[in-house]
Amino acid sequence: MSKFDDDFPTLTMKKRKAHPTLLYCVIGALSACAIFLIAPLIPWTVKDLEPQKRLVQAVFFTVLALVVWVSVSWRWRYLGAFWVSICTFLSLHVLCVYLYSTLVQPILVWQWGVILFLESYAAVPFIEWLTRRLSRRVGR
């Protein structure tokens, strides 16, 4: 051991947890890049999807809502009822979107912003309440 060993600081690595939102942002960015790269290369795909435009928008905004709900409620994921709560609210969302789209009119893009804003304020407390309630019931 030389006298210079004490002069060099030791480097320690801290383990950091990645936040789930970062993963969703990366997946979203990769999906957006894939869409923008594939659309010009395969123009007939875009033309084939034109009649299904509202359905594609509904699927996209529903997935976006699901990502927001899961990322905000992520701290409850260890409770057994978390995914039951997410699936319950997602089923309710899909049912309401389907009924509105078939009975009233297809949902326009500007309406999705309002729906997701209002629905997210209702979804997060509902998901947390249902998760706690079902987890207590299972624990009895």
DSSP state of 105: -
79-83 contacts at long range (C-beta below 8 A, 24 or more positions apart): 79/131, 79/132, 79/135, 80/134, 80/135, 80/138, 81/130, 81/131, 81/133, 81/134, 81/135, 81/138, 82/127, 82/131
Q: What tens-digit pLDDT sequence spans the chain (140 residues)?
A: 555 555 555 556 566 665 667 777 788 888 888 877 776 766 666 666 667 778 878 888 888 888 888 887 777 777 777 788 888 888 888 898 888 888 988 888 888 888 888 888 887 788 888 888 887 765 55
12 located within any domain: no
Judge contact between 24 and 67, C-beta under 8 A.
Answer: yes
43 located within any domain: no
Residue 103 phi, psi dihedral angles, 5° rounding: -90, -30
Q: How many domains is the chain built from?
A: 1
102 located within any domain: yes
pTM: 0.59
Supply the range of the domain harboring residue 118: 51-139
119 located within any domain: yes
38 located within any domain: no
98 located within any domain: yes
103 located within any domain: yes
76 located within any domain: yes
